[in-house]
Amino acid sequence: MTWLDTAGALVGFLLTLMVFSYLIGDNPLYRLAVHLFIGVAAGYAAIMAINTVILPRLILPLIGGNRDERLLALVPVVLGWLLLTKISSRLAPLGSLPMALLVGVAAAAAVGGAVTGTILPQAAASINLFDLRGEESLNADLGLHLVNGVIVLFGTAATLAYFHFGDQAQMAPRVRGWFEGFRQAGQVFIAITFGFLFAGVYSAALTALIERIFTLVDLIKNFLGSLLPAV
């Protein structure tokens, strides 16, 4: 282990102890560790933005690009300067255009990502549970396969029914009672989902905690092992 590795391990050891000091209450050491983490994360994000966006897509085209590349690079420059006008209350209306563009692009990316990355794949996966063609139709677990498909279909429909906030007064009393029970079943599925997510978060946190504890133990062992021959 080189001196650089040793210094990095010691810094990690000290920062871990500073974070663990929160167990005895909020204190300056914990706040210092949090500020360091936020500062390093912000600095890393700024460096990544400069190296992957500003330099290759803005600075370099303006310096060494052709006419089309320079004209295209002027668009984010103008929008960026207009966005900076939000600092001034008198010039703030000029920044409405880039703000509207940012919000619109972000909303479109979020909706498009949710549709293509979540809704459509989940719908296709739910439909495939009822696909009994091929080898699955000859499988001995055909009944279990159908049961899983029915549970997924029922849970999806019940969850969607839970988010139905329309007027139920026009429904027949019996239908309204069945629908209310269906909504309560959707609430159960939502609670189970949140429970799994909560357990997953805690499992990941415990895994990280165990990894840090083993790292600290290994560091202490290596440090003591380096001192014992000298003694």
Residues 145 and 134: their CA atoms lie apart, in Å, by 14
In this predicted structure, what is the pLDDT of residue 229? 60
Per DSSP, helices labelled H in 85-141 are: 96-114, 120-128
In this predicted structure, what is the pLDDT of residue 175? 76
| Count of CB atoms situated within 10 Å of the CB of 147 | 12
Q: What is the DSSP letter of 88?
A: S
In this predicted structure, what is the pLDDT of residue 176? 76
Residues 168 and 177: their CA atoms lie apart, in Å, by 10
Per-residue confidence of the chain (231 residues) as pLDDT tens digits? 577 777 777 888 888 888 888 888 889 999 999 999 999 999 999 999 999 988 888 888 888 888 888 888 888 889 888 988 888 888 888 889 899 999 999 999 999 998 998 888 888 887 877 776 654 444 556 777 778 888 888 888 888 888 877 666 677 777 777 888 888 899 999 999 999 999 999 999 889 888 888 887 887 887 777 776 654
pTM over cut 0.75: no
3-state secondary structure of 138: helix
Q: Quote the strand ranges of the chain, DSSP E.
A: none
* Nearest one of 72, 67, 42, 38 to 56, comparing CA atoms: 72
In this predicted structure, what is the pLDDT of residue 166? 67
In this predicted structure, what is the pLDDT of residue 128? 79
Residues 22 and 29: their CA atoms lie apart, in Å, by 8
In this predicted structure, what is the pLDDT of residue 118? 85
Q: What is the DSSP letter of 87?
A: G
What length is written for the chain?
231
